[in-house]
Amino acid sequence: MPLANYTTSVEAAKTVGEIQHILVAHGAREILMNYGDDGVIESLSFIVNTAHGNMPIKLPVSIEPVLKIMQRDSKIPNHLCNKEQAVRVAWRILKDWVRAQMAILETDMVRLEQIFLPYMITPDGKTLYENMVDKGFYLTEGKD
Residue pLDDT, tens place only, 95-105: 999 999 999 99
Helix intervals (H) in 26-62 = none
Residues 136, 95, 30: CA angle, nearest 5 degrees: 80
- Cα 80 from Cα 115, distance rounded (Å): 32
Residues 61-107 pLDDT 10s = 999 999 999 999 999 999 999 999 999 999 999 999 999 999 999 99
Helix intervals (H) in the chain = 12-25, 63-72, 83-106, 112-116, 128-134
What's the whole-model pTM score?
A: 0.91
pLDDT at 52 over 90: no
Sorted by where each begins, the domain ranges of the chain are: 12-134
Confidence at residue 106, expressed as pLDDT on a 0 to 100 scale: 96
